[in-house]
């Protein structure tokens, strides 16, 4: 690799079976929170990535057991223009910010989403974001899908970013979601432990795949409706689309999920079929909301706990489901 400069962050990863066949730039973008695919490509072009001790090319494809070593140079200043977009800040201090992201907003710039992202809003409202996430993702510790609403953690200093990313990796940050699913779980509580990787048949989707990365989600039923359940979902790991993939895999896809649960209401038979269609018509997007964050402050060690109620679009749908299910509630 190239000669390191002051402030360089050196890291080492090992490819697992689910990574076989992935290009190195895609692998790094998926595994390293601070890297976008374009930034990973720049590291490769600069000779900052090695596979099994040899400088890697962008086109190189991985096999299980490959050792990937790379260097993250000091953060670059952001070149993005701040935008005066609405931003709901739940908490802010000199180290971090907790925001409540609305559904429909992309977290960071990407092809097709060059403006109007959460990052653009953050740059306007928060002047001292950490640069460690790169020029396109300053301060971003973890992401939410475009159509998922709720709580997100953002670092304002590089030290906070490193500590929060490490806490996330060792599962020391509790993330809880509210999610509505089609059908009913067999029990009030269920833990799904199933490995996740890119779908072998569609690389744009994730799937439960033998040899994939370990993934664990804990589900608990909060309410039982006519043909759907409202669940509390707690992430023990944080794989891409984990909650949505696990629920599809157990046969209870997320209501309104166009990727993993399209047409889920049509799977409902019997007396609940009409109710399911009426409910689906009231859910404008995937019924998934990041409702709770619990963590220790990266500098002080103080325990922090944040909550976010269902936003109006999902709250209205839930109210209708609850009221229309009243005769069967608790069954």
Catalytic machinery residues: 145
Q: How far apart are CA 84 and CA 121, in angstroms?
A: 6
Closest to 110 measured CA to CA, from 102, 100, 120, 101: 120
CA dihedral 295, 178, 267, 212 (to 10 degrees): 0
Q: How far apart are CA 273 and CA 269, in angstroms?
A: 5
Residue 24 has φ and ψ, to the nearest 5°, of -60, -40
Answer whether 285's CB lies under 8 Å from 102's CB: no
Beta pairing class for 149-155 and 288-296: parallel
Q: How far apart are CA 317 and CA 265, in angstroms?
A: 15
Which residue matches tokens 């990863």? Answer: 13
Q: How far apart are CA 109 and CA 116, in angstroms?
A: 8
Q: How far apart are CA 126 and CA 254, in angstroms?
A: 34
CA dihedral 304, 312, 138, 233 (to 10 degrees): 60
Which residue matches tokens 């993005």? Answer: 80
């Amino acid at each position: 690799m190239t000669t390191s400069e002051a402030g360089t962050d050196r890291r080492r990863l090992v490819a697992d079976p689910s990574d076989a066949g992935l290009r190195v730039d895609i692998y790094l973008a998926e595994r390293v929170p601070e890297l976008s695919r374009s930034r990973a490509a720049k590291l490769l072009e600069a000779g900052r990535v090695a596979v099994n001790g040899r400088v890697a090319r962008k086109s190189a494809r991985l096999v299980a057991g490959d050792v990937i070593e790379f260097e993250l140079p000091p953060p670059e200043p952001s070149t993005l223009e701040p935008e005066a977009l609405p931003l709901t800040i739940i908490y802010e201090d000199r180290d971090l910010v907790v925001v409540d992201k609305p559904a429909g907003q992309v977290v960071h710039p990407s092809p097709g989403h060059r403006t109007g992202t959460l990052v653009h809003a953050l740059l306007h409202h928060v002047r001292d974001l950490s640069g460690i996430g790169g020029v396109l993702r300053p301060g971003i510790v973890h992401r939410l899908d475009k159509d998922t609403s709720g709580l997100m953690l953002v670092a304002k200093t590089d030290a906070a970013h490193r500590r929060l990313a490490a806490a996330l990796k060792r599962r020391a940050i509790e993330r809880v979601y509210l999610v509505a699913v089609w059908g009913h779980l067999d029990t009030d509580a269920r833990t799904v432990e199933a490995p996740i990787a890119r779908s072998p048949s569609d690389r744009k989707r994730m799937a439960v795949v033998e040899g994939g990365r370990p993934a664990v989600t804990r589900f608990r039923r909060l309410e039982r409706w006519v043909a759907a359940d409202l669940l509390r979902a707690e992430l023990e790991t944080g794989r891409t689309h984990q909650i949505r993939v696990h629920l599809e895999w157990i046969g209870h896809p997320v209501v309104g999920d166009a990727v993993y649960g399209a047409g889920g209401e049509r799977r409902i038979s019997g007396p609940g079929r009409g109710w399911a269609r009426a409910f689906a018509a009231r859910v404008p997007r995937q019924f998934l909301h990041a409702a709770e964050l619990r963590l220790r402050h990266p500098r002080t060690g103080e325990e922090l706990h944040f909550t976010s109620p269902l936003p109006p679009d999902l709250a209205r749908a839930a109210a209708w489901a609850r009221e229309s299910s009243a005769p069967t509630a608790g069954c």
